[in-house]
Chain A
Amino acid sequence: MAYVAVKGGERAIDNAHAWLAEDRRGDPAVPEITLAQIQQQMGRAVDRVMAEGALYDRELAALAIKQAQGDLIEAAFLLRAYRTTLPRFGYSSPADTAAMRIRRRVSAVYKDLPGGQVLGPTYDYTHRLLDFALAADGRPPAPAAQAPAEAATMPRVSDILRDEDLIEGDGARDLGREPGDLTREPLAFPAPRDVRLQALARGDEGFLLAMGYSTQRGWGGSHPFVGEVRVGEVAIEIVPPELGFAIDIGDVTLTECQMVNQFKGSKTKPPQFTRGYGLVFGHAERKAMGMALVDRAMRAEEFGEEATAPAQNVEFMLYHSDNIEGTGFVEHLKLPHYVDFQSELETIRRMRREAEVVG
Chain B
Amino acid sequence: MPEPDTAARQRWMSVLARAAADQLAELLQAAPALPGCTVLRGPESGLVMLRGRAGGGGGPFNLGEMSVTRCTVRSASGFVGHAYAQGRCARQARLAAELDAALQDPALHDALQAAVVAPLAASQQAARDGQAARAAATRVQFFTLATMRSS
**Are these two chains actual partners, yes or no?**
yes
Shortest C-beta distance, B121 to chain A (Å), equals 12
Q: Which of A56, A111, A182, A277 has the most CB of B within 10 A?
A: A56
B52 contacts chain A at the CB level, 8 A cutoff: yes
Which of B26-34, B112-120, B127-135 faces chain A?
A: B127-135
A118→B135 contact, CB < 8 A: yes
Quick one: closest A residue to B67, CB to CB? A57
Contact of B52 among A173, A197, A249 (CB under 8 A): A197
Quick one: closest A residue to B6, CB to CB? A245
A249→B86 contact, CB < 8 A: yes
A256 contacts chain B at the CB level, 8 A cutoff: yes
B-facing residues in A37-81 (Cβ within 8 Å)? 50-51, 54-57, 59-60
Shortest C-beta distance, A91 to chain B (Å), equals 5
B75 contacts chain A at the CB level, 8 A cutoff: no
Quick one: closest B residue to A122, CB to CB? B138
Tally B residues with Cβ within 8 Å of A. Answer: 54
Given contacts A55-B67, A242-B82, contact A175 B59 (CB under 8 A): yes
**Chain B neighbourhood of A174, CB < 8 A:** 59
A275 contacts chain B at the CB level, 8 A cutoff: yes
B-facing residues in A80-130 (Cβ within 8 Å)? 83, 86-95, 97-98, 101-104, 111-112, 116-121
Interface size class of A (residues with CB under 8 A): 35 or more
B126 contacts chain A at the CB level, 8 A cutoff: no
Which of A12-20, A145-153, A261-269 faces chain B?
A: A145-153
Bound Cα distance A202, B52 (Å): 13
Bound Cα distance A244, B1 (Å): 8
B47→A88 contact, CB < 8 A: yes
A236→B62 contact, CB < 8 A: no
A-facing residues in B4-26 (Cβ within 8 Å)? 6, 10, 13-14, 17-18
**Chain B neighbourhood of A156, CB < 8 A:** 56-57
Q: Mark B67-89, 1 if CB is under 8 A from A, else 0.
A: 11010100000000010111110
A323 contacts chain B at the CB level, 8 A cutoff: no
Could you list which residues of chain B lie within 8 angstroms of chain A, going by C-beta atoms?
2, 6, 10, 13-14, 17-18, 44-68, 70, 72, 82, 84-88, 128-140, 142
Could you list which residues of chain A lie within 8 angstroms of chain B, going by C-beta atoms?
50-51, 54-57, 59-60, 83, 86-95, 97-98, 101-104, 111-112, 116-121, 144-150, 152, 156, 158-159, 169-175, 179-183, 193-195, 197-198, 201-202, 233, 235-236, 238, 240, 242-252, 254, 256, 258, 275, 277, 279, 281
Can you identify 5 A-B contacts, CB atoms within 8 angstroms? Answer: A117-B140, A179-B51, A236-B66, A242-B82, A279-B52
